[in-house]
Amino acid sequence: MVDKILFVIGSAVIVTIIPFGMYEMAESLYASVFLTKNEVEVSYIFGVLPLLTSIWLLALLGLISLPIRKKINLSSKTKKIIGTYIPIYTALFGVVIAIIGKPLIVENLLSHGYVLERTVDIKTTFQWVLDKEVYVYRGNNKADPKT
């Protein structure tokens, strides 16, 4: 019983907290693609969106299925797909999107009158450093973003 309560609490926390992170990433991506702000931050972080989405959906599925008293029996193939293939493929998909997408987004910004103002280093606990490029609209070209 305690395990089930902990699973419900953990799933509820994941289901409620992950959307905030997804919103922050998606808002930055949306602003840089559709040119909705005068100052746009571009980084590789939006590549995490597919993985976060799959984790969120699995947690939501788990939260919904926990109140059911009957144990859900999944085949070993289904367990392997859910536990191994989905996380690996969504992580790889996110990396590919980030590697291909960031240069395209930067090119889109530059062609619509944005100028690189500064690069902000994001220090992490890992041995590598992420960077966030801040582009500001100068109004040199035809596209006129909303403020």
Q: Angle of helix 2-34 relative to helix 86-111, nearest 10 degrees?
A: 20
143 within some domain: no
97 within some domain: yes
Task: Specify the higher pLDDT residue, 68 or 77.
Answer: 77
Task: Write 103-106 long-range contacts (CB < 8 A, 24+).
Answer: 105/29, 105/32, 105/33, 105/42, 106/42, 106/133, 106/135
Residue 132 sits at φ, ψ, to 5 deg, of -125, 120
Check pLDDT > 90 for residue 5: no
54 within some domain: yes
What tokens were used for 43? 């980084």
Check pLDDT > 70 for residue 61: yes
Question: pLDDT value at position 90?
Answer: 93
Q: pTM of whole model > 0.75? A: no
Question: pLDDT value at position 103?
Answer: 92
| Bridge partner list, 131 | 121
- The number of distinct structural domains making up the chain is 1
Cα Rg of the chain (Å, integer):
20
144 within some domain: no
Mean pLDDT of all residues belonging to the chain: 83
